[in-house]
Chains A and B, each alone.
Chain A
Amino acid sequence: MIQLQNIQKIYQTRDIETIALDQVNLRVEKGEFVSVMGPSGCGKSTLLNIIGLLDKPTDGFVQIDNMLINKQKDKKLASIRNEKVGFIFQRFHLINSLNVIDNVELPLLYRKLSSSERRKLAQENLERVGLSHRMKHFPSELSGGQSQRVAIARAIAGNPGILLADEPTGNLDSQMGHEIMEILHQLNKVGEMTIVMVTHDENLARQTNRIIRFFDGRQVN
Chain B
Amino acid sequence: MWKTSFIQFFKIIRQNKFFTFLNLFGVSITIMIVLIAAIKIESTIKPGGPERNNDRMLFVNNEVLSAENHMAMGGISLIKIEEYFSKMTSPKAIAFGNETPWSYFGEQGVEEFSVKNVNAEWWQVFDFEFLEGRPFGTWEVEQSSNVLVIDEKVQNRFFPDQNTLGQMLEVSGKSYKVVGVVKSVPSNCTYSFANVYMPYTLTEGDGKELMQTGSFSMIFLGASEANLVEIKDEFESIRKRIIPFLDEGYELYFGGPENAVDSYLRDWANPKHYEGSTARKLKILGRFFLVMLLPALNLISIQLIRIHERSEEIGVRKAFGATRSGLIKQILYENTLLTFIGALLGLLLALIVVYGFHDLVIKTLFNDFGEGVSLSINFILFIICLVASLALSLISGIIPAIKMSRLEPVEVLNGGKL
Residues of A within 8 A of B (CB): 49, 52-56, 74-75, 78-79, 81-83, 87, 89, 93-98, 102, 106-107, 109-111, 115, 154, 158
Say if the beta carbon of B298 comes within 8 Å of chain A. Answer: no
- CB neighbours (8 Å) of A93 from chain B are 312, 315-316, 319, 413
Say if the beta carbon of B377 comes within 8 Å of chain A. Answer: no
Are B408 and A110 closer than 8 Å at their CB atoms? no
Are B323 and A78 closer than 8 Å at their CB atoms? yes
Say if the beta carbon of B47 comes within 8 Å of chain A. Answer: no
The contact sample of 8 A-B pairs, CB cut-off 8 A, is: A55-B411, A56-B408, A75-B323, A97-B313, A106-B320, A154-B320, A158-B320, A158-B321
Q: Which residue of B lies closest to A118 (CB)?
A: B4
- CB neighbours (8 Å) of A81 from chain B are 318-321, 409
- CB neighbours (8 Å) of A94 from chain B are 316
B295-332 CB contacts (< 8 Å) to partner A: 312-313, 315-326
Are B319 and A55 closer than 8 Å at their CB atoms? no
CB distance from A206 to the nearest CB of B (A): 28
Are A78 and B14 closer than 8 Å at their CB atoms? no
Say if the beta carbon of B15 comes within 8 Å of chain A. Answer: yes
Say if the beta carbon of B29 comes within 8 Å of chain A. Answer: no
Which of B16, B323, B326, B408 is in CB contact (< 8 Å) with A54?
B408
Instruction: Please name the 4 residue pairs, one residue from A and one from B, whose CB atoms are nearest each other, closest first.
Output: A82-B321, A97-B15, A110-B321, A107-B320
CB distance from B407 to the nearest CB of A (A): 10
Residues of B within 8 A of A (CB): 4, 8, 11-16, 312-313, 315-326, 408-411, 413
Are A54 and B4 closer than 8 Å at their CB atoms? no
Are A78 and B318 closer than 8 Å at their CB atoms? yes
**Complex Cα distance A98/B9, Å?**
11
A95-B319 contact given A55-B408, A55-B410, A56-B408, CB 8 Å threshold: no
**Complex Cα distance A93/B408, Å?**
16
Are A49 and B410 closer than 8 Å at their CB atoms? yes
Are A82 and B4 closer than 8 Å at their CB atoms? no
**Complex Cα distance A89/B316, Å?**
10
**Complex Cα distance A158/B326, Å?**
19
Which of B313, B321, B325, B410 is in CB contact (< 8 Å) with A107?
B321
Which of A52, A102, A110, A115 is in CB contact (< 8 Å) with B322?
A110
Number of A-B contacts (CB under 8 A): 73
Which of B14, B320, B410 is in CB contact (< 8 Å) with A97?
B14
Are B4 and A96 closer than 8 Å at their CB atoms? no
Q: Which residue of A lies closest to B316 (CB)?
A: A93
Are A95 and B413 closer than 8 Å at their CB atoms? no
Of B14, B326, B410, the most chain A CB neighbours within 10 A belong to B410
Q: Which residue of A lies closest to B16 (CB)?
A: A97
Besides A93-B312, A97-B313, 7 more A-B contacts (Cβ < 8 Å) are: A78-B318, A81-B409, A97-B15, A106-B320, A107-B321, A110-B322, A111-B321
- CB neighbours (8 Å) of B325 from chain A are 74-75
Q: Which residue of A lies closest to B327 (CB)?
A: A78
Q: Which residue of A lies closest to B408 (CB)?
A: A55
**Complex Cα distance A183/B293, Å?**
56
**Complex Cα distance A87/B410, Å?**
12
**Complex Cα distance A181/B317, Å?**
25
CB distance from B340 to the nearest CB of A (A): 20
Are B11 and A54 closer than 8 Å at their CB atoms? no
Of A55, A78, A94, A95, the most chain B CB neighbours within 10 A belong to A78
Which of B13, B320, B410 is in CB contact (< 8 Å) with A82?
B320
- CB neighbours (8 Å) of A96 from chain B are 15
Are A78 and B321 closer than 8 Å at their CB atoms? yes
Q: Which residue of B lies closest to A154 (CB)?
A: B320
- CB neighbours (8 Å) of A109 from chain B are 4, 8
CB distance from B327 to the nearest CB of A (A): 9
CB distance from B323 to the nearest CB of A (A): 4
- CB neighbours (8 Å) of B15 from chain A are 95-97
**Complex Cα distance A55/B119, Å?**
85
Of A75, A94, A109, the most chain B CB neighbours within 10 A belong to A109
- CB neighbours (8 Å) of B413 from chain A are 54, 89, 93
Are A87 and B408 closer than 8 Å at their CB atoms? no
Are A110 and B326 closer than 8 Å at their CB atoms? yes
A102-B11 contact given A54-B410, A109-B4, A115-B4, CB 8 Å threshold: yes
Are A110 and B320 closer than 8 Å at their CB atoms? yes
CB distance from B317 to the nearest CB of A (A): 7
Q: Which residue of A lies closest to B12 (CB)?
A: A97
Q: Which residue of A lies closest to B411 (CB)?
A: A55
Which of A49, A74, A87, A102 is in CB contact (< 8 Å) with B320?
A87
**Complex Cα distance A55/B409, Å?**
7
**Complex Cα distance A89/B14, Å?**
24
Which of A55, A74, A89, A115 is in CB contact (< 8 Å) with B323?
A74
**Complex Cα distance A53/B325, Å?**
17
**Complex Cα distance A89/B319, Å?**
11
**Complex Cα distance A95/B15, Å?**
9
- CB neighbours (8 Å) of B411 from chain A are 55
Q: Which residue of A lies closest to B321 (CB)?
A: A82
**Complex Cα distance A74/B8, Å?**
23
CB distance from A12 to the nearest CB of B (A): 14
Are B4 and A106 closer than 8 Å at their CB atoms? no
Q: Which residue of A lies closest to B406 (CB)?
A: A74
CB distance from A141 to the nearest CB of B (A): 14
